[in-house]
Amino acid sequence: MGRVILAVTGSIAAYKAVEVLREFQRRGWEVRVVMTRAATHFVAPLTFQTLSEKRVIVDQFRDVFALEHIELCREADALLVAPATADFIAKMAAGLADDFPSSLYLACKKPVFVAPAMNEGMLMHPATRRNLEILREHGVRIIEPEEGPLACEEEGLGRLAEPARVVFQVLSSLGSRLRGRKVLVTAGPTREFIDEVRFISNPSTGKQGLAIAHQAALMGAEVHLLLSSASPFRSMVSYETFTSGEELRERLKGKDYDLLFMTAAVGDFRPAKTKGGKLRRQGRLTLDLEATPDILAEICSSKRPGQFVVAFAAETEDFLQRAKKKLGKKGADAIFVNPVGRGVGFGQDENRGWLIFRDGSIHEIPPSSKEEVARRIIELVIEKEEI
Ligand SMILES: Cc1cc2nc3c(=O)[nH]c(=O)nc-3n(C[C@H](O)[C@H](O)[C@H](O)COP(=O)(O)O)c2cc1C
Q: Is 117 in the pocket of ligand 1 (CB under 6 A)?
A: yes
Distance 2 CA to ligand 1 centre (A): 30
Q: Are 10 and 87 in contact (CB under 8 A)?
A: yes
Tell me how far the alpha carbon of residue 89 lies from the centroid of ligand 1, in angstroms.
11
CATH topology of domain 3-174: Rossmann fold (3.40.50)
Instruction: List per-block mean pLDDT (blocks of 10 residues) for the chain, which spans 387 residues.
Output: 95 97 95 98 98 94 79 92 98 97 95 96 97 97 90 81 94 92 97 96 94 95 97 92 97 95 96 92 92 95 94 88 92 92 73 94 94 96 79
Catalytic residue among 73, 108, 152, 300: 152
Predicted confidence at residue 116, as pLDDT, reads 98
Where are the CATH 3.40.50.10300 domain residues in the chain?
Answer: 182-385
Pocket test for ligand 1, best of 12, 81, 153 (most atoms within 8 A of CB): 12
Task: Please list, residue by residue across 20-42, b when 16 or more beta carbons sit within 10 angstroms of its beta carbon and e when fewer do.
Answer: bbbbbbeeebbbbbbbbebbbeb
Q: Given this model, what pLDDT does residue 13 score?
A: 97
The CB of 38 under 6 Å from ligand 1? The reply is yes
Closest residue CA from atom 6 of ligand 1: 11
Beta-bridged to residue 364, according to DSSP, are 354
The distance from CA 320 to its chain's CA centroid, rounded to whole angstroms, is 30
203 lines ligand 1 (CB under 6 A): no
- Output the pLDDT for position 377: 97
Distances (CA, A) of 224 to 56, 184, 209, 242: 39, 5, 11, 13
Under 8 Å between Cβ of 12 and 86: no
| 90 within ligand 1 shell (Cβ under 6 A) | no
Q: What is the pLDDT of residue 342?
A: 67
The pTM (predicted TM-score) of the whole model is 0.82
**Ligand 1 within 6 A of 86 CB?**
yes
Ligand 1 neighbour 87 (Cβ under 6 A)? yes
Query: Quick check: 142 and 131 in contact, CB under 8 A?
Result: no
- Among 16, 37, 85, residue to substitute to test ligand 1 (most atoms within 8 Å of Cβ): 85
| Dist. CA 85 → ligand 1 center (Å) | 6
CB 118 less than 6 A from any atom of ligand 1: yes
The preferred substitution site among 8, 11, 33 for testing ligand 1, maximizing ligand atoms within 8 Å of CB, is 11
Please say if 152 is a catalytic residue. yes
Q: In angstroms, what is the span from residue 10 Cα to ligand 1's centroid?
A: 5
Distance from Cα 120 to the centre of ligand 1, integer Å: 13
Q: Which amino acid is at 143?
A: I
Does domain 182-385 sit in CATH 3.40.50.10300? yes
Q: Where in the chain is the domain with CATH 3.40.50.1950?
A: 3-174
C-beta 12 within 6 A of ligand 1: yes
Task: Map residue 349 onto helix, strand or coil.
Answer: coil
